[in-house]
Structure 1
Amino acid sequence: MTLPLVFITGASSGIGQALALRYHRAGYRLALAARRVSEVESWAGACGISPDSYHIYSADVAHPESIVAAGQECIARQGIPDVVIANAGISVGMDTSVREDLDVMARTFATNNTGLAATFHPFVDAMAQRKSGTLVGIGSVAGIRGLPGHGAYCASKAAVISYCESLRGEMRPYGVRVVTISPGYIDTPLTRQNRYSMPFLMQADDFADRAFHTIAAGSSYRVIPWQMGVVAKLLRVLPNALFDRLLAGRPRKRRQNETQ
């Protein structure tokens, strides 16, 4: 009997690695897409993951042909995955008055949005023909309401949520599930650079465990942890004037090359 297969992007650190380890412990074979292949190999060895239970595909999701090729190679080498998790993403602050930050926004969309769709692309028809499979988009609570200084990231994650909702309707007739997971604050190298408070901060392993069960249940949308879901809903219904006053003076996300 062939073990189930999961394809995960952004597997070189943070949430991607935590998800990979959780799926490995559940008995899945791993197809891991990452730019830093050597780091994934070192991590897998340190975790005691047998080399015959995973394969690493060198890919950059910001370049559609790169991640599409990785997905096609995965199908040829390991078969059609049971679960595909488009996890890779970047988060950089921006100031619209700074010309260079327009390039930051373009790079953010290329990675977080076009890269997500390109990740799914090689598997959509194959899963539809098989009439089974799960496509998972990693959004963020930051996609629920725009935060000052986070324009690129918030906009990209709002787009992830809407895109996955659209795709869910498209894939439903074929028996393919689309799951959207919006993390709150997860303790990763990325969030450790934040210079503002992070309520309900969650360890990556705990997040991965809850995400695993959410995906297995086929939930269409879930905020993890649930407390951030409540916070996000409250922020969503706040009148704009009150929301703006609440966030006035809040520290902003670091921009590129910004250290202070």
Structure 2
Amino acid sequence: MPNHLHPPDTQAPLDLPLVFITGASSGIGQALAWRYHRAGWRLALVARRVDEVKSWASARKISADSYQIYSADVADTDSIIAAGQACMSRQGLPDVVIANAGISIGVDTAERADLDVMARIYATNNLGMAATFHPFINAMVQRGSGRLVGMGSVAGIRGLPGHGAYCASKAAVISYCESLRGELRGSGVRVVTICPGYVDTPLTRQNRYPMPFLMRPEDFAERAFQVIASGASYRVIPWQMGVAAGLLRTLPNAWFDRLLQGRPRKHRQGQDSQP
């Protein structure tokens, strides 16, 4: 899949820090882009829906010389690697790389079609994250600095009925980032794992179950920005959700299963949004 760069040739000063964000066309990715822009950073924004990012940047009156858009699909390994390489060629080596792109679809393992959905979720949420980081690691190690940020989820802490693929993918994100953190220990490159609770985005608005401590994307982005700057290795946002998830983690399986009995499931692909 070819990568298209927008806009051409104009650049902000290279001494300004640079953040590379996937999934920048909506939700958390867009909110993070805006927070970093407000802090004076240059933006490298990755999305499949390039026109939506362009419209958003124009509506926000973001100067054309302060950002570049890279058209890529993180589920296509060569596509996202090419976007990272193009970013380094056009804008330089990022200071922060945020692997934010992800999808969430309910699955039923008894349905053959849902096995293909599971494969797509893993390709996006897991392999897509590794492929996002891949182009930058050696250069960051050589420089001796950088932040690689993996977007996990509290859904990765315990499995939820009907949500097996997403929960499993986010559990894998948490373990993968922990492994990568150990591999890069002492190199100057920090790996940061952020696990959002419920954030009001297109990904969550069709959920048909309670979403405690629901956050606005802007509020989440502010807290995530501070966590990334601090270099913390792992953080659940908001902290209340971290406490709740920790308590759920300690529940015996029988109690946990009973607690979730009758809970509405995540929508499967093509399923009507109404309960």
Provide the rounded CA distance (Å) in 2 between the counterparts of 1:85 and 1:171.
16
Which of 161, 178, 183 pairs up with 2:196? 183
Write 1 or 2 for the structure with the bigger share of helix.
1
Q: Does 1:45 align with 2:45?
A: no
Q: Look up the match of 2:230.
A: 217
Q: Does 1:79 align with 2:92?
A: yes
Provide the rounded CA distance (Å) in 1 between the counterparts of 2:67 and 2:157.
35
Provide the rounded CA distance (Å) in 2 between the counterparts of 1:191 and 1:55.
28
Q: Look up the match of 1:204.
A: 217
Q: Equivalent residue of 2:24, what SS?
A: coil
Q: Equivalent residue of 2:184, what SS?
A: helix
Q: Does 1:96 align with 2:103?
A: no
Runs of 4+ in 1 over 6 A off after TM superposition: none
Q: Look up the match of 2:207.
A: 194
Provide the rounded CA distance (Å) in 1 between the counterparts of 2:198 and 2:105.
15
Q: Give, as a single letter, the amino acid of the residue that structure 1 aligns with 2:118.
A: M
Cα shift readout 1:148-169 (whole Å, capped 9, x = no counterpart): 0000000000000000000001
Q: Does 1:124 align with 2:142?
A: no
Q: Does 1:166 align with 2:167?
A: no
Provide the rounded CA distance (Å) in 2 between the counterparts of 1:178 and 1:46.
33
Q: Does 1:250 align with 2:263?
A: yes
Q: Equivalent residue of 2:109, what SS?
A: coil
- Deviation of the 1:190 alpha carbon: 1.1
Q: Percent identity?
A: 78
Cα shift readout 1:114-171 (whole Å, capped 9, x = no counterpart): 0000000000000000000000000000000000000000000000000000000111
Q: Give, as a single letter, the amino acid of the residue that structure 2 aligns with 1:87.
A: N
Q: Equivalent residue of 2:186, what SS?
A: helix
Q: Give, as a single letter, the amino acid of the residue that structure 2 aligns with 1:221.
A: Y
Cα shift readout 1:157-194 (whole Å, capped 9, x = no counterpart): 00000000000011122110000000000001111010
Provide the rounded CA distance (Å) in 1 between the counterparts of 2:184 and 2:24.
25
Which of 17, 26, 33 pairs up with 1:20? 33
Provide the rounded CA distance (Å) in 2 between the counterparts of 1:247 and 1:46.
42
Q: Look up the match of 1:234.
A: 247
Provide the rounded CA distance (Å) in 1 between the counterparts of 2:210 and 2:41.
36
Q: Look up the match of 2:67.
A: 54
Q: Equivalent residue of 2:138, what SS?
A: helix
Which of 140, 143, 156 pairs up with 2:169? 156
CA RMSD of aligned residues (A): 0.6
Cα shift readout 1:71-114 (whole Å, capped 9, x = no counterpart): 00000000000000000000000000000000010000000000
**Structure 1 spans left out of the alignment, 5+ residues:** none
Provide the rounded CA distance (Å) in 1 between the counterparts of 2:169 and 2:138.
25
Q: Look up the match of 2:20.
A: 7
Paired positions, count: 260
For normalisation by structure 1, the TM-score amounts to 0.99
Q: Equivalent residue of 1:173, what SS?
A: coil
Provide the rounded CA distance (Å) in 2 between the counterparts of 1:48 and 1:216.
25
